[in-house]
């Protein structure tokens, strides 16, 4: 089943332009429910009301207010907000190409697949060029009145664009150096390394299923005909006592069987 492009634009690198189509790489697998009124099973409506008197407020009278600080906000009129929208444009500007390691996982937000738009030659030439350089392009574009920041990369011979969080969104932390009592010994590090090695494999995401979603789907299926299930309480494990002992035991256990 093929998917529809959600947007068309052109990647711009200096003098070069490569026309592309943008496809969402995410497909929703979420089980969506309606909210119903329990008495008559009518789907409920949500209405916007004044908090002080509960009176409904029509769309035309609704406004957005931007918080200035903890005490004050300022009302922004629709025309003022319109003026703040970026101008429509069809270009995806490549700002720079950086080594892969320059972007940590915290930046990555939402993935898209880029496809060729008529000019297959230019598209696959760029895919090859980006792949050969082994770099990530930082890109900016305006799509449907919104500005986006993204990372251009290549996987399996195709161009990918992953939107990035903004600098203000990515939280940083100081590096930590634990005190002596919490520093593991060389022997413990060695054991841990062996243990990790013993269960290291390829990244095989297909092996992981969201069992909860599957059970939910089954429940709905069953309910459409008629039946039930039951519930279990989670418990929290006690922290490890003797670390080296646990490591050795784990290692022995993992040697006994093949780990996926």
Partner 1 sequence: MPDDKAPSAPVRSFWSGTITFGLVSIPVDLLAAARARQKSMKLVDDEGHALGRRYYCPKDDKVLDNDDLVRGYETESGKMVVITDEEFESVAPEKSRDIDLKSFVPVAAIPPSFYERPYFLAPDERAGKAYTLLAQTMAKSGKAGIGSFVMRDHEYLVAILSENGMLRAEVLRYANELRTPETIGLPRPGKADAGQVRALGKAIDALSEDDLDMAEMEDIEAQALREFAQRKAKSGKGVIAMETLEDVDDDSAGGAEVIDLMQVLRKSLGARTEPAEAKEAARAHAAKKATPVRNANAAKTAAAKPSAQRSAPNRAPKKDAAARKGPATAKPAARRSASTSTPTKGTASKKTARKAA
Is there a contact between 151 and 59 (Cβ–Cβ < 8 Å)? no
Taking the C-alpha atoms of residue 156 and residue 131, their distance in angstroms, rounded to an integer, is 9
Does the protein bind partner 1 through residue 115 (CB under 8 A)?
yes
Taking the C-alpha atoms of residue 105 and residue 111, their distance in angstroms, rounded to an integer, is 12
| 25 versus 90: smaller Cβ distance to partner 1 | 25
Instruction: Give the total of residues touching partner 1 (CB under 8 A).
Output: 179
Does the protein bind partner 1 through residue 205 (CB under 8 A)?
yes
Does the protein bind partner 1 through residue 87 (CB under 8 A)?
no
Host H or E run for residue 192: helix 186-198
- Count other Cβ atoms within 10 Å, centred on residue 35: 9
* Residue choice 7, 8, 19, 24 for contact with partner 1 (CB under 8 A): 24
Residues 6+ apart with CB under 8 A from 241: none
Does the protein bind partner 1 through residue 20 (CB under 8 A)?
no
Phi-psi region of 221 (alpha: psi -120 to 50; beta: other; left: phi over 0): alpha
Host H or E run for residue 8: strand 7-13
Does the protein bind partner 1 through residue 171 (CB under 8 A)?
yes
| 90 versus 157: smaller Cβ distance to partner 1 | 157
Does the protein bind partner 1 through residue 88 (CB under 8 A)?
no
Find the binding residues for partner 1 in span 178-197 (CB under 8 A): 178-184, 188-189, 192-193, 195-197
- Site track 233-252 with partner 1 (rule: CB under 8 A), x = hit: -xxxxxxx--x--xx-xxx-
Does the protein bind partner 1 through residue 65 (CB under 8 A)?
yes
Does the protein bind partner 1 through residue 82 (CB under 8 A)?
no
Single out the residue of 150, 146, 149, 148 nearest to residue 85, CA to CA.
146
Does the protein bind partner 1 through residue 6 (CB under 8 A)?
no
* Residue choice 82, 87, 88, 201 for contact with partner 1 (CB under 8 A): 201
């Amino acid at each position: 089943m093929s998917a529809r492009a959600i947007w068309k634009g052109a990647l711009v690198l200096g003098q070069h332009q490569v026309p592309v189509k943008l496809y969402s790489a995410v497909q929703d697998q979420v089980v969506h429910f309606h909210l119903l009124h329990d008495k008559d099973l009518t789907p409920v409506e949500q209405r916007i009301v004044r908090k002080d008197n509960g009176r409904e407020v029509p769309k035309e009278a609704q406004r957005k207010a931007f918080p200035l600080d903890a005490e004050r906000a300022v009302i922004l009129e629709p025309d003022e907000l319109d003026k703040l929208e970026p101008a429509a444009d069809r270009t995806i500007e490549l700002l720079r190409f950086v080594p892969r390691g320059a972007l940590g996982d915290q930046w990555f937000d939402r993935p898209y697949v880029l496809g060729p738009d008529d000019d297959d030659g230019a598209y696959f030439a760029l895919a090859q060029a980006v792949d050969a350089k082994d770099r990530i392009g930082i890109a900016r574009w305006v799509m449907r009145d919104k500005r986006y920041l993204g990372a251009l990369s290549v996987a399996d011979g195709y161009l990918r664009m992953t939107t990035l969080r903004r600098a203000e969104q990515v939280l940083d932390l100081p590096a930590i150096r634990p005190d002596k009592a919490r520093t593991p010994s060389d022997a413990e590090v060695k054991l841990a390394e062996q243990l990790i090695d013993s269960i290291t494999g390829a990244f095989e995401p297909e092996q992981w299923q969201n069992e909860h979603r599957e059970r939910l789907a089954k429940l709905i299926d069953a309910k459409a005909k008629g039946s039930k299930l039951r519930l279990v309480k989670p418990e929290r494990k006690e922290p490890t006592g003797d670390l080296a002992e646990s490591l050795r035991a784990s290692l022995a256990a993992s040697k006994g069987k093949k780990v996926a």
